[in-house]
């Protein structure tokens, strides 16, 4: 399974954009990039996923580098509720959506 | 509410015992995944089923077993429990087998004493 590297922690202020980076230099052409987050005392929650093109949904945007060796999750306006651990995960397209979680990035949001 | 139901929410048992954790996936979801989350190990993938068949296996101990039934609910059986098995166990489900959104339950907190 290809690995991802994320910063251990990041901080943001409320209502400011947040850019969460993820490096995945060993990504293969058929690996999808997924982002999940886990709020305190809850199960992980899907945020977004993509393959090559940038993706947007109501929760966030995913910017994927042209060489696909890195990606950035963008929260456009952070709220206190966005404080969570964010996981960047790769899944092989033929691998039954097997999601292997790393340590993630703990995001703190300040009022 | 993710639509994935896990029971029980909390479980306290003694070392050496056996327990069964139950997961009901979202309506229409055919894939079920099990994860273990402990403080020192993070979220560990255990096993995945699709439409009743095992499709992927992770770091699941031999003392642990799982199955997915014809009605698509799944059970995770943990036997000969040790103190180190104390953890949160999450179940997730997704509609198919391709890269897609997985929905996680609230977890079962297992405490082995």
pLDDT tens sequence across A57-66: 999 999 999 9
**Cα Rg for chain A, rounded, in angstroms?**
13
Token pair, residue B70, equals: 């014809």
Q: Name chain B contacts of A97, Cβ cutoff 8 Å.
A: 31, 48, 94, 96-100, 102
**Which pLDDT score, from 0 to 100, does residue B73 have?**
97
Which 9-48 residues of chain A touch chain B by CB within 8 A? 32, 34, 36, 38, 42-46
Measured between beta carbons, the chain B residues lying within 8 angstroms of A98 are 33, 45, 48, 55-56, 58
Is the model's pLDDT at A30 over the cut of 70?
yes
Length of chain B: 113
Closest-CA residue to B105 (of B95, A28, B94, B96) = B94
End-to-end CA distance of chain B: give it in Å, rounded: 31
Residue A2 has a pLDDT of: 65
CB contact, 8 Å: A111 with chain B? no
The CB-side HSE value for A16 (13 A sphere, CA atoms) comes to 12
**What percentage of chain A carries pLDDT values higher than 90?**
77
In which residue are the tokens 């096993």 written?
A: B47
> Which positions in chain B touch A49 (Cβ < 8 Å)?
99-101
* Residue with token string 């166990």: B89
- CB pairs < 8 Å spanning A and B: 66
Pick the residue with more confidence: B100 or A108? A108
CA distance A100 to B96: 17
Q: How confident is the model at residue A47 (pLDDT cuts 50, 70, 90)?
A: very high
Alpha-carbon dihedral sign for residues B2, B33, A37, A99: negative
- With a cut of 50, which residues of chain B have pLDDT below it? none
CB-closest option in A45, A46, A100 to B45: A100
Rg (CA), chain B: 13
pLDDT band at A93 (very low <50, low <70, confident <90, very high): low
Of B52, B64, B71, the C-alpha closest to B5 is B71
* Cβ atoms < 10 Å from Cβ of A73: 25
Provide the token pair at B42.
């993070």
- pLDDT for A95 beyond 70: no
Instruction: Say yes or no for a CB contact (<8 Å) between A101 and B104.
Output: no
pLDDT of residue A28: 87
A17 confidence band (pLDDT: 50, 70, 90): very high
């Amino acid at each position: 399974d290809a690995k991802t590297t994320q910063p251990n922690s990041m901080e943001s202020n409320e209502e400011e954009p947040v850019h969460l980076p993820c490096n995945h230099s060993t990504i293969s052409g058929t690996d999808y990039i997924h982002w999940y987050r886990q709020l305190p005392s809850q199960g992980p929650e899907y945020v977004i996923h993509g393959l090559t093109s940038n993706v947007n949904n109501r929760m966030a945007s995913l910017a994927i580098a042209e060489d696909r060796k890195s990606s950035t999750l963008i929260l456009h306006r952070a709220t206190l509720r966005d404080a969570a651990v964010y996981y960047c995960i790769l899944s092989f397209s033929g691998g039954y959506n097997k999601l292997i979680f790393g340590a993630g990035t703990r995001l703190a949001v300040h009022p | 509410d993710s639509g994935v139901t896990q029971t029980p929410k909390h479980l306290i048992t003694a070392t050496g015992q056996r327990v069964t954790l139950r997961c009901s996936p979202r309506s229409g979801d055919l894939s079920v995944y099990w994860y273990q989350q402990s403080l020192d190990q993070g979220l560990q993938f255990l096993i995945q089923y699709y439409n009743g068949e095992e499709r992927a296996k992770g770091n699941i101990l031999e003392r642990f077993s799982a199955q997915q039934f014809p009605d698509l609910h799944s059970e995770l059986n943990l036997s000969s429990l040790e103190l180190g098995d104390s953890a949160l166990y999450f179940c997730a489900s997704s509609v198919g087998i391709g890269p897609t959104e997985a929905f996680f339950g609230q977890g079962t907190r297992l405490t082995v004493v």
